[in-house]
Structure 1
Amino acid sequence: MKILPIIAGLILLVPLANAESVEEQYKKACFVCHDTGVANAPKVHDVEAWKPRLEKGMDALLNSVKNGLNAMPPGGMCTGCSDEEYKALIQYMSSPQQ
């Protein structure tokens, strides 16, 4: 019977193994506009372009993504993203390139 908790634990880890990295999510959804700055989208890793946006706070940025802003449609190109995924994508795009 000790094997049952081990199997259950492994089953819970399967989604983690298949989870996309933030960079992979960026390349699938955000890259289209944020790589080149289409329609004045702040470019990825352009800290200065992101600075005034970040000053508004993460809640305001999250609201802009979820509801759309200017040329960005609601949800951006990642309509299935959770709030946490959106926040991780914003942090990734607004941080200096590593």
Structure 2
Amino acid sequence: MKTILAPLSLALLLGSNVVFADAEIEGIVDRHCQACHDAGLAGAPKLSDAASWAPRLETGIDAMAKTVISGKGAMPPKGTCFSCTEEQIHAAVEELVGRLQ
């Protein structure tokens, strides 16, 4: 029980500066982002296509996360991760960008 309470207490003390476990964010990307961005479904920029990501990267992670939160084109709001917080979406965008080839 102490193992669960200590990280939870720390997260509550940190407030909006919550740090997510890498595995949690990787799981979100794997479940909600990877398939469309691997295949380029419905116009999603492929992770292997650096040119399609260049203009998005110029806007920055914050702007990209806002786009994911509101949805764009065929991508629904929150990129299908309806239970994700805005902070988790932001972290997932960072993780996804880190996977660009």
TM-score, normalised via structure 2 length: 0.67
The RMSD of aligned alpha carbons is: 2.8
Q: Over residues 63-90 of structure 1, what are the superposed CA-to-partner deviations in whole Å (9 max), with x where a residue is unaligned?
A: 2111111111111111111122112211
Equivalent of residue 53 in structure 2, options 47, 50, 54: 50
Identity of matched residues, %: 39
Aligned length: 89
Q: Does the alignment pair 1:11 with 2:14?
A: no
Aligned to 2:77: 74
Pick which of 72-81 and 41-50 moved more.
Answer: 41-50
Unaligned runs of 5+ in 2: 9-20
- Structure showing greater radius of gyration is 1
Q: By how many angstroms is 1:45 displaced? A: 5.8
Q: Structure 1 stretches (4+) deviating beyond 6 angstroms?
A: none
Q: Distance in 1 between matches of 2:36 and 2:75?
A: 9
The 3-state SS of whatever aligns with 2:80 is coil
Aligned to 2:11: none
